[in-house]
C-alpha cells in the first residue's frame, strides 16, 4: 500500500453513486523501541539515579571483602603494629644450600614433565587446548549436488528463489509528487510491468491523493536497476482500484501473467513490492492462499469484486505489487489488508482474471467503458436501522447528479430506494446484483419511499434510464 493508502481499513462510510468511498489511512510510520539499557557512567547519561531498595530495578550491591586484624597476626600492644617474630640467627651450612638447590631443580623438571603428560592426556581425550598449532579450522563447503538443488519440481513449480529472480525485476516502485514551492512526496507504492514498452499496472489509490484537494504533479517510476522514469496516467478506475500508467522506455522486463482461476486454497504464493516505500524496495514475503473468490464488504474496493485472500504479508507500499504463484507467474495485484486490532495476516489481491477486462479497457479507452451508473450518492439503511426508525431498508439518497435521468424523474434528497427491478437494494453488493448485465441506456424500475412535507409516508415507482459511468474531466 502506498504511504497515503486509504484502503487498509475496511469501513462502511458514505458511498457515492456507485458505492465508492474512502476509508481511513492506517498509521504507516513504524515506531521502533530499542531494548538496550543505558550504560552506567555513560557520557550520555552522566548522572544515574540512585537505586532505591524494593524498587523493581534494585540490585544487591557487590559485597566488599572484609579483612580482620587476626589475619595479620598478633599486634604490638603499644602501637597496634604487627609483631615480628624474632628468631635466632644460625650460620649457613654450604652443603645444605647445595642440597636445596638440587631439590628445587628436580622438582621443576618433574613439574614440566608432568605438565607435558597432562597436556598430552587432555589432547588425546579430545578436549580443547588453547594455543595448539595444528588446531582444525572452519570448513565452508559448496552447495551439494543433486535433487536438492533442482530449481523445479516434476510439475514445473519453482523454488522461492527462482520465482524471485523471475518476478522481482518486473516490479517497480512508484512515487507521486505534488508541487507547491517545490516537489513534495505525496505517496509511494508498487507496480507491475505489463509490456516491454512501458505499460505498468498498479492501484488507483497509489497514483491518487488521499486528499481530493491535492493534485499529483509528477509520477516517478523506479525500476530494480535503479533507473527512474516519469510516467503518465493512461487510465484509472476507483471502483476496482486499478490503474494503468506508461513510461517512455524499451526492453523492460515485462511480467508473465497466469490464470488466477486455477488457484487453490493452500497453494503457496509470493508477494513482491515496496513495503513502507522505496526504503524496503523489492521485498519478498511468502504465504498461502487463504481463500479464493473472497467478497469484501467495502464499496471502496469495488462492489462485488472477488479477491484472493492470503497470509503473505502485505503492508503499506505493497499496493500495486505482484502476487505470484510457484510458476513465476503474476496471478494477482496486491491491493489491501485488514488493519484492525485482533487481525493479522489478512491481505487481499485483485485476481488477474478480474483485472484483465478492466486493464484492457483502461488502456484502450482511458476508463472502463460500458459500466452503468444510477447517478446518486447514498447512505445504506440496514434492517436494524430500518426497524429502529420505522422505515424500509434501502438506499437513502444523500445527493444526486442533476444531469442524470433519475433527477429528471423527480428524485429528492431523503428518498429511500428500496428495490430495483423488484430486487431489494441496501448496499453496494445488492446494487451490483440488481444491475448485473445492464448496459448504458437500459431502463430499470425503482420502488421509492418518501416522507412528505405533511409528515406522511408514501411509496411509489419510477423508471429511469441508466447512464454510463464515464469519468468527468475538469481543469
- In 115-207, the DSSP E strands lie at 171-179, 183-193, 199-202
End-to-end CA distance of the chain: 28
Which is the catalytic residue, given 205, 281, 361, 427?
205
Q: Catalytic annotation on 319?
A: yes
- Cα 191 versus chain centre, distance: 15
What are the start-end ranges of the H helices in 342-394? 352-365, 383-389
Residues 6+ apart with CB under 8 A from 409: 462, 463, 464
Q: Which of 2, 283, 290, 319 is catalytic?
A: 319
What is the rounded distance in angstroms from the CA atom of residue 22 to the CA atom of residue 62? 62
Which one is catalytic: 241, 405, 427, 447? 241
- All three cell numbers of 60, joined, read 544487591
Question: Rounded to an integer, what distance in angstroms lies between the CA atom of residue 53 and that of residue 64?
Answer: 19
Rounded to 5°, angle at Cα 171 from 168 and 172: 130
Backbone angles phi, psi at 220, to 5 degrees: -110, 135
Rounded to whole angstroms, the Cα distance separating 308 from 295 reads 9
In 108-138, which positions are buried (b, 16+ CB within 10 angstroms) versus exposed (e)? Answer: eeeeeeeeeeeeeeeeeeeeeeeeeeeeeee
Residue 97's φ and ψ, nearest 5 degrees, are -60, -45
- 241: annotated active-site residue: yes
Catalytic residues: 205, 241, 319
Amino acid at each position: 500500500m502506498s504511504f497515503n493508502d486509504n484502503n487498509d481499513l475496511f469501513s462502511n462510510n458514505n458511498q457515492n453513486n456507485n458505492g465508492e468511498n474512502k476509508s481511513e489511512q492506517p498509521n504507516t510510520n513504524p515506531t521502533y523501541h530499542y531494548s538496550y539499557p543505558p550504560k552506567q557512567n555513560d557520557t550520555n547519561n552522566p548522572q544515574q539515579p540512585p537505586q532505591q531498595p524494593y524498587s523493581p530495578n534494585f540490585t544487591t550491591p557487590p559485597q566488599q571483602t572484609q579483612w580482620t586484624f587476626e589475619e595479620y597476626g598478633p599486634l604490638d600492644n603499644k602501637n597496634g603494629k604487627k609483631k615480628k617474630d624474632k628468631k635466632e640467627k644460625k650460620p649457613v651450612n654450604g652443603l645444605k644450600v647445595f642440597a636445596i638447590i638440587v631439590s628445587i631443580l628436580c622438582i621443576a623438571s618433574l613439574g614440566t614433565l608432568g605438565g607435558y603428560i597432562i597436556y598430552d592426556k587432555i589432547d588425546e581425550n579430545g578436549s580443547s587446548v588453547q594455543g595448539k598449532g595444528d588446531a582444525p579450522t572452519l570448513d565452508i563447503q559448496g552447495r551439494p549436488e543433486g535433487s536438492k538443488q533442482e530449481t523445479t519440481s516434476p510439475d514445473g513449480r519453482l523454488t522461492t528463489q527462482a520465482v524471485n529472480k523471475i518476478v522481482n525485476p518486473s516490479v517497480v516502485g512508484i512515487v507521486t509528487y505534488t508541487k507547491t514551492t517545490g516537489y513534495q512526496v505525496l505517496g509511494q507504492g508498487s507496480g507491475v510491468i505489463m509490456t516491454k514498452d512501458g505499460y505498468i499496472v498498479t492501484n488507483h489509490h497509489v497514483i491518487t491523493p488521499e486528499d481530493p484537494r491535492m493534485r499529483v504533479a509528477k509520477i516517478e517510476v523506479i525500476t530494480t536497476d535503479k533507473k527512474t522514469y516519469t510516467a503518465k496516467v493512461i487510465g484509472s478506475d476507483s471502483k476496482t482500484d486499478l490503474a494503468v500508467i506508461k513510461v517512455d522506455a524499451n526492453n523492460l522486463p515485462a511480467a508473465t501473467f497466469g490464470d488466477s482461476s486455477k488457484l487453490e486454497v493452500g497453494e503457496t504464493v509470493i508477494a513482491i513490492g515496496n513495503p513502507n516505500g522505496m526504503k524496503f524496495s523489492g521485498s519478498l514475503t511468502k504465504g498461502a492462499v487463504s481463500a479464493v473468490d473472497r467478497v469484501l464488504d467495502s464499496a471502496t474496493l469495488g462492489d462485488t469484486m472477488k479477491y484472493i485472500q492470503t497470509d503473505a504479508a502485505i503492508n503499506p507500499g505493497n499496493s500495486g505489487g505482484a502476487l505470484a504463484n510457484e510458476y513465476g507467474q503474476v496471478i494477482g495485484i496486491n491491493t489491501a489488508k485488514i488493519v484492525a486490532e485482533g487481525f493479522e495476516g489478512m491481505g487481499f489481491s485483485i485476481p488477474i482474471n478480474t483485472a484483465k477486462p478492466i486493464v484492457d479497457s483502461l488502456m484502450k479507452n482511458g476508463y472502463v467503458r460500458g459500466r452503468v451508473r444510477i447517478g446518486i450518492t447514498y447512505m445504506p439503511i440496514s434492517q436494524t436501522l430500518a426497524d429502529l426508525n420505522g422505515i424500509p431498508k434501502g438506499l437513502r439518497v444523500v445527493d444526486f447528479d442533476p444531469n442524470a435521468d433519475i433527477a429528471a424523474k423527480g428524485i429528492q434528497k431523503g428518498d429511500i430506494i428500496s428495490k430495483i427491478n423488484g430486487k431489494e437494494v441496501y448496499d453496494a453488493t445488492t446494487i451490483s446484483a440488481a444491475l448485473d448485465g445492464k448496459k448504458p441506456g437500459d431502463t430499470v424500475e425503482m420502488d421509492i419511499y418518501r416522507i412528505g412535507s405533511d409528515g406522511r409516508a408514501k411509496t411509489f415507482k419510477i423508471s429511469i434510464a441508466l447512464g454510463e459511468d464515464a469519468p468527468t474531466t475538469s481543469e
